[in-house]
Amino acid sequence: MQLYNKYDKKTLLKKIEQEPFKRITISFYQYADIEDPITWRDQLYENLEDLGVLGRVYIAKEGINAQVNCPEPSFEAFKTYLYSHTFLDGIRLNIAVEQNNKSFLKLTIKVRDKIVSDGINDPTFKIDQRGKYLSAVEFNQMTEDPETIVIDMRNHYEFEVGHFENAIEVPSDAFRDQLPMAVDMMKDKKNKKIIMYCTGGIRCEKASAYMLHHGFPNVYHIEGGIIHYTNTAKEQGIPNKFIGKNFVFDERLGERITEDIIAKCHQCSSPCDDHTNCINPACHLLFIQCKSCAGRYEGCCSDECRDFIHLPFEQQKELRKGTNFGANVFKKDGAPGANVFKKGRWPKDPGEKKFKLNKPKGD
């Protein structure tokens, strides 16, 4: 059996559009000891593919981290299969706040060293010694105390479009960097009540364990993250203290929690919180773009990228050679109005060029 996807995006989209059923977008994770991740990966792929499940799954010796969508008619069979594994029996499944059949187009399951890259090499660190879970009600009650500290353990571009009231940002794109940064930021507040949160719970669970490991006695984290909190708040009719949009790592790029728009278009600074990827395949920058700028720039992040996509295809290929464009995100460097691009690949000076458009590589 072929244990990988063999179709291009256009074909995958067409297949999903022709499906006669709805798909349910789900995320789940579990820290557990998996002796043979490679073998289990292949077994998992076969079973999920048989159920028509699409999505992105990471497996490691420390557990599983999954974001998938499942055909609605297969949902109960999907749960039964997951719960048939002892370490997944009864696992919480976070149902997406906003559903979209196209949240995932293919099934990808990868074996990694860790399900969350944390940079922790301390053998005395224990993930099972973590902070206390807080329900939505308990979170709301605890945050009524102005002395309670709420820390967002997501990337800057997630925080930018939505976060909990009065939450503190740990300004980095890498979780492995955020962990020591959070410890340092809170070093003078060790005895305060500290609540950590993330999208679905996996990062803040490890972060709360890391804080406890470094001597913080009163650490909590929201059970199931923003997604479970929001669904619970709706079900129980309690106030939702999250403001704006919850960024998600699938084709949707976000789900609306409140109507508040707290971010700005990265091109014209008008109110906007819609993330997109630059349509230029030699860029693919993740940034916020309003509808007006999307029209003006033809879905690109700059005039230069717009010019690039109109070049002959062979010239584009030459200009793209030897460069990895897969992980670029737009961010602020802390100075007002100073827009820079991650990893130093993009210009800080508007006059600096990304591409040598008049001289293809090799000439």
Q: Which residues are catalytic?
A: 198
- Are 288 and 273 within 8 A, CB to CB? yes
Beta strand 330-332 with 339-341: parallel, antiparallel or unpaired? Answer: antiparallel
What's the number of CA atoms in the CB half-sphere (13 Å) around residue 286? Answer: 21
Q: Which of 91, 53, 92 is nearest to 73 (CA)?
A: 53
| For the chain, counts of helices (H) and of strands (E) | 11, 17
Structure tokens that stand for 280 in this block? 């230029």
Rounded to whole angstroms, the Cα distance separating 294 from 282 reads 18
Task: Look up residue 167 and give its DSSP letter.
Answer: P
- Work out the end-to-end distance of the chain between its first and last CA atoms, rounded to an integer number of angstroms: 45
Tell me if 61 sits within 8 A of 37, measured CB to CB: yes
d(CA 55, CA 52): 10
Q: Give the separation between CA 55 and CA 16, rounded to whole angstroms.
A: 13
Listed residue (161, 155, 125, 143) closest to 265, CA to CA: 161
Q: Are strands 275-277 and 286-288 parallel, antiparallel or unpaired?
A: antiparallel
Which has the closest alpha carbon to 248: 207, 278, 205, 286? 286
- The contacts of residue 243 (CB under 8 Å, 6+ apart) are 162, 163, 164, 165, 257, 258, 260, 262
